[in-house]
Each structure stands twice: as C-alpha cells, then as structure tokens.
Chains A and B, each alone.
Chain A
Amino acid sequence: EAQVTQNPRYLITVTGKKLTVTCSQNMNHEYMSWYRQDPGLGLRQIYYSMNVEVTDKGDVPEGYKVSRKEKRNFPLILESPSPNQTSLYFCASSPISPIREQFFGPGTRLTVL
C-alpha cells in the first residue's frame, strides 16, 4: 500500500531533550515536506526537500533541522525542543512535479513540557 508513515504518532517530552520524528514514504517520491498545524494558524511549512541532499526552509524553520540522506526518509529533528513547538506535525511527499498531489502522513502530536 502506498503510504507516508510517521513515528512516533504521539510524544510527550521535556524542554531541551533532543528528539527526532521520522517520516518515510514508499512511493519513490522526490519531494518531501514537513508542516506543523496549530489552532487558528492552519498548516505551516517547516522544511522541504526536492530530492536527496537538497533541503530548504519553509515559512517556520526556526528550531528545527532536517536531513535527506535517502530518498524514502525525511526526519525532523528538534535539537532543543521548547514548549512553543508543541504542535501537530505532518509529513508529506509527492513526485517532483508541482502539478502532482501531495500525500500526507497521519500526523505526530508532540507535547513539550
């Protein structure tokens, strides 16, 4: 089944404790992206990747890192999480063409205490 998977689905952590949220897709998509969703603010793009080793900032990249060493994986790294990073995170992938649809993962709900 074609899908985007995220792990973990739920995470409660404390301020300053480094964490990684994994994202993996099995559709051989070149493009991958991370979003965060907060009440009243909609979906906001954090980082995106056009292909392996090619990443760029979205609208809200502060406090996050990403890497794209393999085509199928695009982990989101929070080196020192803070409470304002408490949010619902979505990973998405698509073929490189901008006219193709994005497929979204199920989301990761992160709480930083």
Chain B
Amino acid sequence: DAKTTQPNSMESNEEEPVHLPCNHSTISGTDYIHWYRQLPSQGPEYVIHGLTSNVNNRMASLAIAEDRKSSTLILHRATLRDAAVYYCILRALFNAGGTSYGKLTFGQGTILTVHP
C-alpha cells in the first residue's frame, strides 16, 4: 500500500496561513490524495481531495507537487476552530496489485495547534 508521512505536530497563530505537508513518495498514478481532519471529541470529517491539479474549496486549498510525491494542505486564515488532527491519505482509483481500493491507511496525522 502506498503510505503517507506527515509531521507529528505543527503550530500556527490565528488569522495566519497554515501549510500542512504530506509526503507520499510511493504514490501510484491512479491514487487520489484525500485530506480529513478530526476535531476534538468528534469523528473525522472530509476536507478536500485531488489527483494532479491544485484544488480549492470553501475549507482549504490543496497544492500537489508536479511529481505528485508530496502535497500541501493550505488553510488560508487559521481560526481556533481549525485546531484538529489532519490526516492525509491515498485512495486508489481501482483495485491494483492485489490491493483493493476499499482499503485505507490513515496514519497518525498532524496535530495542528492554533494560538489566539
């Protein structure tokens, strides 16, 4: 399975941009990059996903490296409510190499602390 590597923790100040990195050097050409976050005492929630091009939505932006071996989740203006654990995962587009695209590996994620 293609795996992702994220820093254990990051800190930011409120109102400042936050760049959360994710390395996925073994990504295959058909793996989508998904980001989820988990607020304290809640289940994870979807943030954004992409394949090759940079993506924007109301929550965040996703910047994907040209070689796709890394990506960065960008929170343009961090708020206290953005303090959470952020997970970067890969989802295969279809079954390949004996691995089902239903199998997902979340990892430990990055704990984001936002200071007032």
A81 on interface, CB distance cutoff 8 Å: no
Give the contact-size bracket for chain B.
20 to 34
Q: Would you call A99 and B105 a contact (CB within 8 A)?
A: no
Query: Using Cβ atoms and an 8 Å threshold, which residues of chain B touch A24?
Result: none
- Residue B68 is within 8 A (CB to CB) of chain A in the complex: no
Complex contacts, B93 vs chain A, CB 8 Å: 98-99
Extra inter-chain contacts (12) besides given A44-B105, A45-B104, CB under 8 Å: A33-B104, A42-B109, A45-B106, A48-B100, A59-B103, A92-B44, A98-B92, A99-B51, A101-B34, A104-B43, A106-B42, A106-B43
Q: Tell me the nearest residue of chain B to A50, going by C-beta.
A: B102
Chain B positions within 8 Å of A42 at CB level: 87, 106-109
Q: Is the CB of B102 within 8 A of A40?
A: no
Q: Binary interface profile of B, 5-36, with partner A (CB < 8 Å = 1, else 0)?
A: 00000000000000000000000000010101
The answer to whether B106 touches A56, judged by C-beta atoms less than 8 angstroms apart, is: no
**Is chain A's binding surface mostly helix, strand, loop or mixed?**
strand
Contacts of B44 in A (CB 8 A): 43, 90, 92, 102, 104
Q: B96 CB to closest chain A CB, in angstroms?
A: 11
Is A31 located at the chain interface by the 8 A CB criterion? Answer: yes
Interface centre among B87, B93, B106 (most CB of A within 10 A): B106
A43–B106 CB distance below 8 A: yes
Contacts of B107 in A (CB 8 A): 42-43
Task: State the Cβ distance, B78 to closest chain A Cβ, in Å.
Answer: 22
- B103–A45 contact, CB under 8 A? yes
Q: Find residues 30-77 in chain A having any chain B CB closer than 8 Å to their own CB.
A: 31, 33, 35, 40-45, 48-50, 56, 58-59
Interface residues of A in 68-113 (CB under 8 A from B): 90, 92, 98-99, 101-107
Partner of A56, one of B34, B51, B94, B102: B102
B109 contact set on A, CB distance < 8 A: 42-43
Q: Decide if B43 touches A56 in the complex (CB within 8 Å).
A: no
